[in-house]
Structure 1
Amino acid sequence: MSAQTTRRALAWAHGCLSVQSLGGMLGPVLFLLPDGRQVSPLQVAPWGNDPERVALPEILQELRGEWPCVPFGSDAGRNLPDGWTATGESFVGAGAPHGHGSNTHWDWRACDDGQITMECHYPDHHPIRRLRRRIVPDQGAAAIDLTLEVEARRPCRLPIGLHPTFRLSLRPGSVVIEPGRYDRVWSFPGDVEPGAALFAPDRPWSSLDEIETRDGFTVDATQVPLAADTEDLLQLSGIDGSVALHYRDEGFRARLSWQKEHFPGLLIWYSNRGRKAYPWNGRHVALGVEPIASAFDLGPAVCTDGNPIAASGIATAIAFEPGQTFVTHYRLSVEAAPIG
């Protein structure tokens, strides 16, 4: 790693949390439920103490929890089917996975008993100048309120998103995805991981609980982890700014809410033992539920072009102007829920 990861932690009456400088990532978080149980819903990748991780991209070295992605995805030169083009706005550095802020160390700012704040300065050539992040535990609840500010260096349009990643147990279907209202489900226009795709590619559906697979079967994609070893993505468009995960074996819900006018999509990342190479090694079982203004993670050149999701009326990029700070608020909380 180019610098030593540092961490800050906070404890309050309803839990404790940790934030790291690398990527500005939040996690782990331990919440205290009203009945006295402790639950920790965010994922921490299992290779965080492996000395070989220093050869990985920075975003993967200590992968965990939740962080902002500006821009979301990357311009990676993928092969896309008809209807998908990569001729929109791009720039030097657009190939960084999930943006510069996901691959560098953030600077600590005001940190006290009630908040952690940090900021990330982008390179001079980048259209974004700076990100600011504020993490505030709700002193009256098992919840955390988060704020992201984005300052532009020059006018630009970028896909952006948030990247909460949740742990899953190994039992298939032990967690149920409970999205708010949405208009449509889209499958990824290609292979997220060669040889590990599950869903029929480049297709729309009306409901997450009935998704066609590549071999012609239908699966309920709300029940996770999936039984198959897979690495795949689905995107919900026109979502109302809310999603919950019901941990049925453990009797709680993790709930995420955000400003739907900023993030009209929700990317669902099924990381289900599908990636076999290091550091994944076929052992990573987690679920990303990621509010986005983006077309999957296809990067600025696709997301600012006439892609099918944008053509359906759903924003896949946000316009930024110098001197106009973009501010968005979101919330992570937990609550008791029935077992089973």
Structure 2
Amino acid sequence: MADTTLCHLRSRFGRGTVRALSGALVDLEFDLGGRVIRPLASAPWGVLPPMADPQPAAHLTALGGEWPCVPFGRSSADPVKHGHGTDTDWHLIAAGPAQATLAIDYPTGHAVRRLERTVTLSDDAPRVEFSLTIHATRAATIPVGLHPILAFPDHGTLRLTPAAHGAIRTAPASLAPANASLAPDQAIGPDGIARRRDGTTTCLWDQPGRQGEDLILVQNCAGGVEADDGTTLTRLTWEASALPHLLIWIANPGLGQEPRLKGFRGLGLEPVAAHFDATPAGQGLTLSPDRPTIIRYAIDCRPSRPKEPRP
């Protein structure tokens, strides 16, 4: 699928590109006091030409940035992983210098009729604000999520600090990536210390660790997570009433299930109403045909705070 640009956005503090495929925001840059910050990851291969069958999912061939997933993961509500809107082109409704509104219509018979989203670069701070509107054709409960992928720093680590949260678990063996480094289905305490398959331990809050690909679900997370590389702090905030959990995808590198796509590195910090990548039917976010569901969220960057010791 061709990489079709819908529009370029620019504000006093940043710029970015809105892409038709997935309706994704890519190539986001912020000016942080004269330093150019690029918080979102992108695939090292750019956009690949069509491959021999079986074709990889379209979004994987141009992976990176941020986009919504409706439904999220693998779901009985949609044959496409991460939903119809992930592997299909969106269309532009309106665009200004710093704001774009785009939409996609879903197939006839789907529980979702239409998605609309607005992307706005702030003129007041290095910040991008989003709204996602879900129009339903009928009452349904489906998994929904957002899929921003942060870039790893060239040197050092990202220190993660989630907002107040409940239980933390690694993916069960049936849902873990093929090259997972963490022991499956384990409970993790607030300190983030997790067991590896080889018997050693690691702290989830410092990424990237050793090579591997893992999924971790932070349940009942209060709508925020910070990632600090020692110079820049990137913060994701969202409405936890709609998306109560945070799914962390460590791709160091990822895409082990698709050997033709090698070398992708990034950190998915994904607010979800979902259970990992395979949510049981009837669980997730409840939609109504009588009123649209609107989810607001934002990404911003700022200078790092002085480092504090971990508890």
Settle same-fold status: TM greater than 0.5: yes
- In the alignment, what sits opposite 1:330? 297
How far off its partner does 1:103 sit? 0.8
Q: Assess if the C-alpha contact under 8 Å between 1:53 and 1:279 holds in 2.
A: no
With 316-325 and 233-242 compared, the bigger mean Cα shift is at 316-325
Q: Assess if the C-alpha contact under 8 Å between 2:92 and 2:101 holds in 1.
A: yes
Q: Assess if the C-alpha contact under 8 Å between 2:152 and 2:265 holds in 1.
A: yes
- The correspondence of residues 1-340 of structure 1 with structure 2, limited to 5 A, is 1=1, 5-33=4-32, 35-52=33-50, 55-75=55-75, 90-91=76-77, 94-169=78-153, 171=155, 173-190=156-173, 192-194=176-178, 196-207=179-190, 209-227=192-210, 229-248=211-230, 251-276=231-256, 277-281=258-262, 283-299=263-279, 302=280, 304=282, 316-337=283-304
How far off its partner does 1:275 sit? 4.2
Partners of 1:330 and 1:292 lie apart in 2 by 12
Deviation per CA, 1:281-328: give whole Å up to 9, x if none.
2x22210000001001114xx153xxxxxxxxxxx5011111210001
SS of the residue aligned with 2:107? coil
Gaps of 5+ in 2: none
SS of the residue aligned with 2:184? coil
With 97-106 and 268-277 compared, the bigger mean Cα shift is at 268-277
Runs of 4+ in 1 over 6 A off after TM superposition: none
Q: Assess if the C-alpha contact under 8 Å between 1:170 and 1:285 holds in 2.
A: no
Q: Assess if the C-alpha contact under 8 Å between 2:6 and 2:91 holds in 1.
A: no
SS of the residue aligned with 1:51? coil
Partners of 2:7 and 2:255 lie apart in 1 by 31
Amino acid at match of 1:272: N
Alpha carbons of structure 1 residues 333 and 48: separation in structure 2 relative to 1, 3 Å: same
Q: Assess if the C-alpha contact under 8 Å between 2:58 and 2:87 holds in 1.
A: yes
Partners of 1:275 and 1:102 lie apart in 2 by 16
TM-score, normalised relative to structure 2: 0.92
Amino acid at match of 2:297: Y
Identity rate, percent: 31
Q: Assess if the C-alpha contact under 8 Å between 2:48 and 2:62 holds in 1.
A: no
TM-score, normalised relative to structure 1: 0.84
Amino acid at match of 1:189: P
How far off its partner does 1:202 sit? 1.5
How far off its partner does 1:205 sit? 2.2
Partners of 1:73 and 1:230 lie apart in 2 by 20
Deviation per CA, 1:222-273: give whole Å up to 9, x if none.
111112x21110010111101011012xx11111101111111000000012
Deviation per CA, 1:157-210: give whole Å up to 9, x if none.
101010010111354x5211111111111110115332x111221122222521
How far off its partner does 1:280 sit? 3.2
Partners of 1:262 and 1:135 lie apart in 2 by 19
SS of the residue aligned with 2:85? helix
Q: Assess if the C-alpha contact under 8 Å between 1:183 and 1:206 holds in 2.
A: no
Amino acid at match of 1:41: P
Partners of 2:125 and 2:234 lie apart in 1 by 13
Partners of 2:277 and 2:281 lie apart in 1 by 9
Partners of 2:134 and 2:255 lie apart in 1 by 33
